[in-house]
Amino acid sequence: MTSALLFLNGPANTLDLKDDLDAAGIACVASVSDSDKLLHEVIHFSPEILICIDRLPGQALFDALRLIAEHAPCPVLMFTNDGDAERISLAVQANVHAYVINAYNKARLRPLIQLAIARFEKEQLLAVQMRDLSSRFEERKMVDRAKAILMRARKISDDDAYQMLRSASMQTNQRVGQVSQHIIHSARFAEDLNRSGQLRMFSQRLIKLVLLDLAGHKTVQGASLKDSMLHVDISLADLSKSLSQPTFGDLLLMTQNAWNPFRHALQLPPQAEQIGKLDALGEAFLEQAERLTASLENAASMAPLRLLNQSGRQRMLSQRYAKFALLLGFGNNSARVAMAQVALEFDTALKELTALPLSSSEIRTALASAALCWQQMQTSAVAISQAGTNKDVQRQQVTALALFSEQLLDLFELLTHAYERSLQTLVG
């Protein structure tokens, strides 16, 4: 038996209506006359149809019916005396499935209920089809985005990218759209992690460039203090657009707050006696960038991002080692212990990266070149510390250190991007 909830507004005989419903094989579960309580009653009784009898339905009833359509949809049959065109339009917008004017007749009650139910079922079917169509359209967009990521990262064709998605789909027993969504998610986290890792590197590279300037080296392979500072500004702006503010906003703000005084100090003419204060600001910026980067890696929960982060951190360590070597050349003997600690960290990470199974000759070649460049850089750093008062030797070794530190940075920049676009990282 079909269940019905009655809404009565006006002088209607409830007993007669119930008798009419019983005769039509409809069970009346309850009746209500307050439109404000209508949604609550529909949710409570879950009727198979809502029958409204209102000679002149008002805005409050239509508002209640719209809420029902949104939160507890059911067929709606309305009997009324109002044939105003505007009122009919409001009824349609409120999802009234049968709006009957001046035509209540118990003989027609059952067919009208069946009409309202049929229209409701068709409406629900169309809604499901629309959601399915929208879902497939969104999935198609995700597949296209994932293909673009793979094509750019792997330098492959559109067809090859799709075949790669299908292969990953079969291996993981997921739809192609699900794999695509994961690749988009992975690529975004990898890109943000790389950007954040670059902030760590610039915290040390900027100090290195100031020290080289003080030592009489105005440029390093075309690199400039101004360009590096601009890169930090751009990276922070990009991260503020890309990262979730509720999740990472506080960490990003702390990183920005650490950058502001550091940036201001870097804009002043370099002075040897101020280098300690400048380095302290750089260390504060490094600390916040490290915290942000670690949070990004942990939030992604993807093992390949650890590899990406480790490679990216080598960029920072290469610049940090060069910074301490230059400080040592300026007579800061406490830098020797710090330089040894950095060398230990760099060596440990380099061994780990080299020992991992690698997927491309590009990575193997870059790691071999990085190991050689690292040895040359260490040799130059030792020579600087042993140069003593020999200015010519010291100048020569500082030039070599600057050259090798930039080459090592370039190599790990290449490696980090290679890990970022590797299939292991993208597929997670």
Residue-range domain boundaries for the chain: 2-127, 176-427
In the chain, % of residues over pLDDT 70: 93
pLDDT for the residue numbered 39: 93
The least confident of 222-226, 287-291, 421-425 is: 421-425
* Token reading at 380: 């130059």
In terms of pLDDT, which residue wins out, 223 or 57?
57
pLDDT, averaged across the chain: 87
Alpha-carbon dihedral sign for residues 77, 78, 83, 89 = negative
Mean pLDDT of 316-344: 92
In this predicted model, what pLDDT tens digit does every residue of 265-300 receive, in sequence order? 999 998 888 999 999 999 999 999 999 999 998 887
Q: Give the integer Cα–Cα distance in Å for 4 and 31.
A: 9
Mean pLDDT of 389-407: 84
pLDDT for the residue numbered 358: 58
pLDDT for the residue numbered 44: 93
**Given pLDDT bands bounded at 50, 70 and 90, which one contains residue 104?**
confident
Specify which of 151-155, 247-251, 357-361 reaches the highest per-range mean pLDDT.
247-251
Read off φ and ψ for residue 5, nearest 5 degrees.
Answer: -110, 135
| Topology of the domain comprising 2-127 | Rossmann fold (3.40.50)
The least confident of 67-71, 123-127, 165-169, 277-281 is: 165-169
Read off φ and ψ for residue 4, nearest 5 degrees.
Answer: -135, 145
Confidence check: pLDDT of 222 > 60: no
pLDDT for the residue numbered 387: 66
pLDDT for the residue numbered 159: 87
Contacts 24+ apart (CB under 8 A), 368-373: 369/411, 370/314, 370/408, 370/411, 370/412, 370/415, 373/404, 373/407, 373/408, 373/411
Confidence check: pLDDT of 304 > 80: no
Q: How many CB atoms lie within 10 A of CB 186?
A: 22
CA distance to 12, 20, 108, 122, per residue, from 51 (Å): 13, 12, 13, 19
In the chain, % of residues over pLDDT 90: 51
The least confident of 181-190, 242-251, 260-269, 325-334 is: 181-190
pLDDT for the residue numbered 408: 95
* Token reading at 38: 């209508």
b/e 228-249 (16+ beta carbons within 10 angstroms → b): bbebbeebbeebeeebeeeebe
Q: Which residues, in sequence order, are CB contacts of 65 under 8 Å at separation 6+? A: 38, 52, 76, 94, 95, 96
Mean pLDDT of 373-393: 82
DSSP H helices in 215-243: 225-242
- Per the DSSP assignment, residues forming a β-bridge with 53 are 8, 79
Q: Give the integer Cα–Cα distance in Å for 205 and 285.
A: 12
pLDDT for the residue numbered 218: 62
SS3 content of the chain, % helix, strand, coil (to 5): 75, 5, 15
pLDDT for the residue numbered 112: 92
Helices (H) and strands (E) in the chain, counts: 15, 5
